[in-house]
Every structure is written in C-alpha cells, then in structure tokens.
Structure 1
Amino acid sequence: MELDFFLIFNIAFFASIGHCIGMCGGIVLALNSKIAQNHFSPVPCNLLYNLGRISSYLLIGALCGGAGKVFEINPYTKGGALIFIGIVTSAFGALILFAPKFLSKIEPSLTQKGGFKAFFAKIYASKSLRSFYILGILNGLLPCGIVYYFALIALASGGALRGMAIMGIFGVATLIPMLLAGILTNLLLTSRFKDIMFKISAVVMIGFGFYTIYKGIKLF
C-alpha cells in the first residue's frame, strides 16, 4: 500500500494539538501536578511520559501491520481497504468538526474501570521517574479515535515494520505538542488556539479521507 508519510505526519500533528490535548488534558494536568508536588524537573518527566506513549503506539503498529498482511493479497483487497479507511477517516473528521460531544461518547475511558483505575492510581502515586514512562504506556493504550484511525492505516500498510513506521510517525508528530502541553499546561489547555487547531485537524482528515478513497477506487 502506498503511503504519504509527510501527510500522515501533518494529520497527526494537527490532531494532537486539537483532539489529543483536549481529550488527554486531564491526564496532563494530573501529571504536572505530580511533578510540581515532588519537585521534579518538568522536561524529563514529560519526555518520559511521551516516550511511554510512543512505545505503546509502536506495539500497536507492529500488531496491526502484521495482522494486515491480508490486504496485500491483490489490488482489489488493497483498494477495498483504502476505500474503507478513507470513509472512516472522513467520517471521523466530520465528527470532530460537527459532533465532538458524540465523539467523546464513543471513546470510553478505561480509567473509569475498577482494575485499570486502581493500577493507574498506584503508578501515579509512585515517586520514581520510571512511573512517568509507565503512565505514558498506559495512556497510549487508552481508547482514542485518533489512535484507532492510525491503527487502521497501519492495518492496511502491508507489514509489521510499515505499521510500526506509521504509528511511530504518529507518536513523533504528537510529541512536541503534547510535550509543550505538559510544560505550558495552563496556556494550551485554556487557549482558543486549541479550538482552532481542532477544526484544522478535522478539515485535513476529511480531505485525506477523500484522497484515500480516490486512491482505492483507482485500484479497481
């Protein structure tokens, strides 16, 4: 499957400024509250947290890419996969743009479930720097529409390494915005700038969705 990694990076970057910061804002606030209480340096702690997220994304990419080898059987299967991804991408972008409240309902929070919540709380209470990396891993495994979207692309990528590359690009593209969100929490989580980026990411995703559908149709 042909992939435009530059386009993937840009979608991930804008999505992280809008969707990811908005959805994970509570975790970022809690994390930096922990940093302040324990007098840790914010940069390494937030960096460890984000490296933990990327580690989870790489694992998801490898699993989805490996399982998605079936999409490389013939051009028709690949075309169908591209069309499906394009439809899901456009629909997801439309939900971000026009129905963000509905989107939040289909992203159930595992942090509200007993076992996961207790484990999350135990790691959060730890005063070791390693806990920030573990919290990042846990956060990377939480239900999230943006992660679902990139996992679908990884699924149709044709292999575990390509799947890891896609999720790795997603993780790196979200690194700077999420790192800044941790260091400049009060500014980014309350700024109108976040809402503007949220809408830009939705428009870019809708456009990429239609482009992906077009590429899928060409294979038939």
Structure 2
Amino acid sequence: MLVSAFVLGILGSFHCVGMCGPIAFMLPVDRTNAYKKLLQITIYHFGRLLAYASIGLVFGLIGKSLYLFGFQQQLSIIIGVLMIFVVLIPYKTFSKYNFSKPIFKLISKVKSALGTALKKKTPETFLTIGFLNGFLPCGLVYMALFAAIVGGSALNGSLYMAVFGLGTIPLMTTAIYLSNFLKGTIRQKIQKAIPVFVIVIGVLFILRGLGLGIPYISPAPVLDVVSSGMDCH
C-alpha cells in the first residue's frame, strides 16, 4: 500500500502547487547561491515530511486501537467506502458545511506563524515553514490519512504519510525553481485524474477488507489462514 501513498503524493502535488504553491514561491531562499538554495529547500521539505509523519503516527495509533478490537477487515472496507464517497459527493454539498470550523482557531494560528516565519531567513525558518505547511488543511492529505488509519500501527501510519510526502517533493521542488513550468490546461487534466485514482485506492481498500484470498490485493484474514493450517494437521 506504500506504492499508493507515493502515487497519491505525486498526483496530489498538482493540487499542492495550487494550494501550497504560494508558500513555496515565497520561501526566503538564497537566490544568489544555488547550493545554499537547494539546502534550504531540502530543509523545507524535511519539515513537511516531519509534519506528515507526526500526523500519520497519531492516526496510525487510532487504527491500532480499532485493530485491537478486531475491526481490521471492517475498518479497511469503511475507509475504502469513505474515500469513494468523498470523491463522488459534489463539492457544493461539502461547501455548505464548514468541517474545519472546530479547528479554525488552530488553522489561523498556523497561518499566522507561517507569515512570521516567511519574513526570516535563518536555517530553522525553513524547517518551521515546512512543518507548519504540513498542518494546513488539504483534501488530499485527508485521503492519505484515511489510508494511514488502515495501517493498523503508529509506525505504518507514520510511514504511509511520510511516503505520501515524498511523492509531493518532485513537483513542489520544480514549482519553486520554475513557477510557471506547468500550463493550466495540463494541470487541470491531471487534477481531473486525481479523483479517479482515489476511487481506485478506495476499491483496493474494500477488496483488502473483504479478504478474498487474492495475493497482495485481497489477502485472506490471518485467522482463516491459521485455522486452515490447523485443519491440515
């Protein structure tokens, strides 16, 4: 499933360029020293990965607690259905409800801290900007977090989100160097493909939860494997 995290990150980065692109373009990088600029951008990305991994760790723990109650298969199916449901529901329907309202104050503080950090040029500034950037609300991040829950452990959840973050690095880095490298029409076509891929991931999670005995796609539940092994004896 880590492959899905990386591909989701790559596709999601087209969305990131639109949402987080302005932050990337405003990074106070050194324009006169190419090596220093690359180091600053690397630190910025490390901050984002650290934020994603931290969030993934928390959601991985949530998944672990659900796994302990024996909801492994059911959880995978529920997450898959949710991913498909969110994609198919028109955006206008969601826009009627402010789901981020309960954490609006927190988001405002993050944006305020980002504004302050963007005015500085110290090495730790780029780490701070990247870390705070990772906590800004984003639909693709939410999709990745759904998948992180299914990981069933803090390590798997953290790793899934870190790999998701790695997938966003190539395009985000290119955007910093070449702000107008991608034409609007191409970006729109790729963004239209993102929901399709999210649906594919959702279907894979549903198949995984069904435990149909298909290697790598829908492996049989561990309990079934153990019981069948005992029957052979």
Shift of 1:70: 2.2
Give the TM-score, by structure 1 length. Answer: 0.80
- Structure 2's unaligned 5+ residue stretches are 212-220, 222-233
Shift of 1:113: 5.9
Counterpart among 148, 157, 176 of residue 154 in structure 1 = 148
Equivalent runs, 1:180-219 vs 2, <5 Å: 180-188=174-182, 190-218=183-211
Equivalence for 1:118: 112
Distance 1:117 1:6, change over 3 A: closer
Shift of 1:205: 0.8
Distance 1:194 1:101, change over 3 A: farther
Equivalent runs, 1:1-220 vs 2, <5 Å: 4-17=1-14, 19-31=15-27, 34-35=28-29, 39=32, 41=34, 42-73=37-68, 77-94=71-88, 99=91, 115-188=109-182, 190-218=183-211
Which letter does structure 1 place at the counterpart of 2:26? A
Which letter does structure 1 place at the counterpart of 2:76? L
* 1:184-215 residue CA offsets vs partner (Å, 9 max, x unmatched): 11223x53222122122221111221222232
Q: Is the 8 A contact 1:123 1:135 kept in 2?
A: yes
Equivalenced residues, count? 209
Q: Is the 8 A contact 1:21 1:181 kept in 2?
A: yes
* 1:73-115 residue CA offsets vs partner (Å, 9 max, x unmatched): 365x1122112211222133336xx648957x76679699654
Identity across the alignment (%): 27
Distance 1:203 1:113, change over 3 A: closer
Distance 1:88 1:141, change over 3 A: same
Q: Is the 8 A contact 1:10 1:173 kept in 2?
A: yes
- Structure 1's unaligned 5+ residue stretches are none
Q: Name which structure has the greater RCO, CA cutoff 8 Å, separation 6+.
A: 1
Q: Is the 8 A contact 1:111 1:117 kept in 2?
A: no
Structure 1 distance, partners of 2:113, 2:8, is 32
Which letter does structure 2 place at the counterpart of 1:11? L
Q: Larger Cα Rg: Structure 1 or Structure 2?
A: 2
RMSD, aligned α-carbons: 3.0
Which structure shows the bigger proportion of residues in helix conformation? 1
Give the TM-score, by structure 2 length. Answer: 0.76
